[in-house]
Amino acid sequence: MIKKENDDPMVNRDYIQQYLPIFELELAYYKQDYEYVLENFAYQMYERPQAQYPLDRILFAVRSLVYPLSLFETGKVEKARESYLIIEETVEDIKHSIYAKEMHMIKEIIFEQ
């Protein structure tokens, strides 16, 4: 069982409001609802000033890759590549980390390497 450190309903509501749109985009991508992802994505959703640890930054970057992947799946390959590079830039200093392996795998797909 997962225990909450904070049972304050305001904190829990803020957490849900912050992450629910991200989870919805991921679910839409996995359901192959690429248009939903394209219509509802915003880079700002993934900007997390509190994610100061390298692993957190990489995780947010990987989660945001549903957008370039959706662009790629809908045939917008050049735009997908541009979007990937924008996201990759947010973790430029740690993009060669072992924890960024999933990013590299996605890059191979989008750039067809």
With a cut of 60, say whether residue 1 has pLDDT above it.
Answer: no
**38 in any annotated domain:** yes
Q: Would 1 be classed as within a structural domain?
A: no
User: Does 3 reside within a domain?
Assistant: no
Give the tens place of pLDDT for each residue, 25-83. Answer: 999 999 999 999 999 999 888 776 666 688 888 888 999 999 999 999 999 999 999 99
Full residue range of the structural domain in which residue 13 is found: 9-110
On whether residue 24 sits in a domain, the answer given is: yes
Measured in degrees and rounded to the nearest 5, phi and psi for residue 54 equal -55, -45
Q: Is residue 55 part of a domain?
A: yes
Structural domain count, the chain = 1
Is 35 a domain residue? Answer: yes
- This prediction has a pTM of 0.82
* Structural tokens at position 11: 């904190």
In a domain, 105, yes or no: yes
d(CA 55, CA 38): 26
DSSP state of 2: P
